[in-house]
Chain A
Amino acid sequence: MKVALEQKQPGATVIPVFISSDKTQLTLFRGKMAYPVYLTIGNIPKDIRRKPSRRGQILLAYLPTTKLEHIDNIASRRRALSNLYHACVRKVTSPLESAGPDGFEVSVSNGDIHHCHPLLAGFVSDYPEQLLGACCKNGTCPKCTVPHDCLGDGKSYPLRDLKKVLAALKTLDQGPTAYHKNCQDAGIKPVFHPFWENLKGVNIFESITSDILHQLYQGVVKHLVNWIKAIFGAAEIDARCRRLPPNHNLRHFSNGITTLSRITGQEHSDISRIILGLIIGMKLPGNHSPIRLLRATRSILDFLYLAQLPVHTGETLKLLQVALDTFHDNKSIFVDLGIREIFNIPKLHSLQHYISCIENLGTTDNYNTESTERLHIDFAKDAYRATNHKDEYAQMTLWLERREKVLLHQVHINHLLSPHPMASSGPKNLSSSHQSPDTPNDTQRIHITKTPSVSSVSFDKLISNYGAVDFRQALTVFIASYKNPTFNRTQLQKAAYNIFLPFQGVPVFHKIKLWNDDPQDLVDGKKTLDAIHCRPRMESKRGTELPARFDTALICVSPDPGSGVTGSLYFL
């Protein structure tokens, strides 16, 4: 009956299920761990899903965090651990085995009833968890059949054959020896019933998603920084870091980048902003031409930033491939310099899968592990702190349930208090919603303090402390041009000569802030902030000396488009 109905009136709703699991540290010193599993669905738009406050992700389970120390044999302990993981995840995901192909009725928020088919779309995790989930051996790719010694060759290999793997898993009854052999032939570990074995229509090898944080920032960028460090030496790199002028959007590494330990994703992101600038113009040892090194570095950075675009087209995906190919064409410089012999790095190989992953499941911000790392704070760390640290999971789950109830109730009350959306449709409300005072139409806003930083600075001081040598002349020319906009330059000079300034000093502002809107408005109205500093050397309240800071700013004063500065690119 249902099948016939489906055929006449296709109305199946696909629910793309995203599962992410990641171990996290709960305490700083005692090594207490939690193993939360999160669930989200692709039906929710990504800008809601990535905000923890909108609660688009739900805590699905806490897995046991045991290390099975009572098993002495390391190999059998490892096997038991992966069996335990799969037994637990299978327990959690087993309702999908029947609900996926058959579907189940769900009433959604607007009251409609959908016939939903929840199917595992993405398995979001870092490399060790990906291997655990896909039952793959360490040092292999969890997605494709690339041989271990070809991980760095930059070629594409076919995906793992799910049919072959499932056939091997079916031979469990033939005894452990035959099972082990069949699994080995299929290229997987002999795990007792992996959780995806009975999930119909799910290809776990396809579901494993790419991951900007662990594969790029904590993977390839990390390697690149280490290679560059090995080429030029820590002292030179650090010295160059220190000499970089301060800038609002650059982190100033005053102790250099080579002394950092346990570098976070954010720090790698700050490093990748400056790394190309650090190495430009440096001579390579052994009189090698630096062009291949610059190209390789540049292509990694290109790949890094292109991969994070919130919207991709066929063209930008091509650029992504070009960046990857450029790196593989130029990576030989690291071999020639004796930094690396081979590039068998699984994370380097994982870049091959970005394009297919974006084509299949949307851009990488749909499934990055950064947002789940943030969830750990709410769902694991805060929950743990609310307990008395004994038999904590029972207390944590109760605490979470209560917290979610209160938050849900809050949403409900806000919903009741807010005016009904139907009632607010009127010409008055429409106009007010279009032009609210918070969102000015102009794309750029300038912020500057109400009172000047220094109320009066004499023209002499402007020259000696601020280096503004021609300020008085520039000011008179400005006044003249303001009074007579039609004058040419010679006329202006003449008019300026006759202007008398009835004051000896001017108020000075030391900082100005500029907000630049995202011109395409893709990242939910995100604005980039820029600050320009202009401050002479001064003493702080505690008597320490603050060095002078004068930023260089290129400002487009002409209103017509196309004017401004033209740049040219050298040797890249």
Chain B
Amino acid sequence: MYLSCYLTSSSQVHEKLGLSYKNSKELNIIVDKLPSRPKFHKDEITVSGQAFDIYHRDILECIQSLLGDPEFEGKLKFAPEKHYSGPDQLNRVYSDVHTGKWWWKVQVSLNV
């Protein structure tokens, strides 16, 4: 209680606490300077004579930011694989996307 009175009455709180911002507005300005995922753009789509707002991000930038995310480092898959349950290679095992047939098929068609 005393503390909150003290905090509200004093205008120098941020200095005493050693903060680099005075209020939420200044904090937001600092936050806005941080690197981020892609920005949203506002666009208008016109259908049957009426305009509608759509908020979207650039899909390629999104893919770039997912691939470049340091949190996924070393965990990403870049090539399709065929998994088998035994050495005779008769029984395929399916789990993640890269073990499926789609990726293999697309990879082959791209490399031809």
Contacts and interface: CB of A to CB of B under 8 A. Distances in A.
Interface residues of B, number: 63
Given A43-B78, A91-B43, A108-B67, A408 B36 contact: yes
B52 to A, nearest CB: 4
Contact of A45 (B34, B53, B58, B96): B96
A92 interface: yes
A312 B94 contact: yes
Given A16-B102, A64-B52, A313-B94, A43 B109 contact: no
Contacts of B66: 39-41, 43-44, 56, 58
Q: Main SS of chain A's interface residues?
A: mixed
B87 interface: no
Contact of B56 (A61, A110, A201, A402): A61
Contacts of B101: 359-360
A109 B70 contact: yes
A285 B106 CA distance: 54
Nearest to B102: A360
A386 interface: no
Interface in A49-87: 54-56, 58-64, 66, 68, 70-71, 80, 83-84, 87
A37 B45 CA distance: 16
Interface residues of A, number: 87
Interface in B1-50: 28, 31-32, 34-37, 39-40, 42-43, 45, 47-48, 50
B28 to A, nearest CB: 7
B44 to A, nearest CB: 10
Contacts of A46: 95-97
Contacts of A56: 66, 72
A366 interface: yes
Interface in B45-77: 45, 47-48, 50, 52-60, 62-77
A467 to B, nearest CB: 48
B111 A107 contact: no
B82 to A, nearest CB: 12
Contacts of A396: 55
Contacts of A397: 40, 55
Contacts of B63: 15, 17, 39, 41, 106, 116, 118
13 contacts: A39-B59, A42-B97, A42-B98, A61-B55, A64-B45, A71-B48, A95-B60, A108-B68, A109-B68, A311-B95, A312-B94, A393-B55, A411-B71
Nearest 9 CB-CB pairs, A to B? Answer: A42-B97, A61-B56, A10-B111, A64-B52, A397-B40, A109-B73, A405-B34, A360-B102, A84-B47
Interface of A: 6, 10, 12-17, 37, 39-46, 48, 54-56, 58-64, 66, 68, 70-71, 80, 83-84, 87-88, 91-93, 95-96, 99, 104, 106-110, 114, 116-119, 121, 201, 206, 310-315, 317, 358-363, 366, 393-394, 396-398, 400-402, 404-406, 408-409, 411-412, 415
